[in-house]
Every structure is written in C-alpha cells, then in structure tokens.
Amino acid sequence: MEQSQLTVDVKRLAESLRELPELVAKPVLIVVSGLPGTGKSYFCRRLAERLASIILESDAFRRVLFPSPSYSLAESGRLFKAVHRLIKELLGKGVSVILDATNLSERYREYLYSIAERLEVKLILVRIEAPASVVRERLRARLENTEESSDADWEVYQKMKHSVDKITRKHYAVDSSRDITPVLDKIMREVRR
C-alpha cells in the first residue's frame, strides 16, 4: 500500500473515534479474539467501563474505509495496516487500547505481539467464546439490529470457525454466555500489576 494511502486511512480512522480517554504513563494493549457472535463487542464495552481506554472495533473501522465492504483479502490487509498504525500512535501517546476484532490467526496476532514488545506496553490477550446455540441466536438477532456494525451471520460463523488458531501465549478464555465479571476483575488486577 502506498504510504500516502495509509496516512489517509489512519487519519480517517482516528477522526472516527470518540473522545480519547485520559492519558496514562503505562498504557496497555488488550487484544480480544473470537468468532462473530461470541460477544467480543459486549465484553470490550464492559471492560472499557472499568479501564480508561479506547475500543478499536474492526467492523466499524471497515465501514469507515469501505462503505460497502467486500471483506476481500486486499480490503482486510489495507484495513489492518491502518489499524496497526493507529494502535502504535495511540499507545505512543499514552492511550490504552482494546482491539475488538476476530483476530483468529496467530500469524496476524504475532504482529500485535511485536507492537506491544517494541513499545514496551503490557499485552493482555482475551479469547471470547460461547456455545454455538447462543451464537446462532445472537447472530439472528444482530441481523434485525440496524445499529450493528457487523454483517457476519451464521454462515460466516460456520466458515470462520475452521480458521481459528490456538493462541500460543498466556490468555484469558471467556465464555460470554456466563457471568464475565470474574474475568473482568482478573484483567483489571493484571492491568494494575
């Protein structure tokens, strides 16, 4: 991708963000992974209620850059190059970041690991899951909600579930069909540690 296109994309994504939270001396990068409908966005919102942070939601960002998304590899590549640059900029300013994306491939997560290592920020990994019956119902309800930024449906979930790589690093596993409060508590303790 041309450098100027990347700069334009990052600027557009940054302008789409709500007001930034208070800056901190030691920001954290929280990478949330999971299939569509597992409850990632809900989990991220609940976490952001407790942590001065900004949620970077890949589905919303995709619509900023691509009003009629194709979900092609080229489109995803362009999107995530801009997202990664924005993560670096925000962490560099002292803003804690929660990345809400499927993040299913370890190969792609490794780039996020390297961002955290280069910037010397704490990295917290979270894998969200839910029983298939719960996911199916959530995805059905999502299609009726015009406020929802994701287009993923049960068919997309079925296709994507075969591409989930195991997270090779220490991470939190969350079943979002249960009470998520204990995991939120553990993450906040780790953030403060």
Q: pLDDT of the chain along its 193 residues, tens only? A: 567 999 999 999 999 998 999 999 999 999 999 988 899 999 999 999 999 999 999 989 999 999 988 888 899 999 999 999 999 999 999 999 999 998 888 998 999 999 999 999 999 999 999 998 998 888 888 767 655 556 666 676 677 787 788 999 999 999 999 999 999 999 999 999 8
* Residue 158: CATH number of its domain: 3.40.50.300
Helices (H), the chain: 3-16, 40-48, 58-65, 73-93, 106-119, 132-144, 154-160, 181-192
Q: How far is CA 21 from CA 2, 128, 187, in A?
A: 31, 24, 18
Q: Judge whether 34 and 40 are in contact, CB under 8 Å.
A: yes
Six-digit token string for 179: 């009470």
Give the number of domains in the chain: 1
**Cα 30 to chain center, whole Å?**
8
Domain that holds residue 63: 3-192
| Predicted TM-score of the model (pTM) | 0.91
Q: Which residue has the tokens 């194709």?
A: 70
Instruction: Identify which of 109, 117, 83 has the alpha carbon closest to the alpha carbon of residue 166.
Output: 109
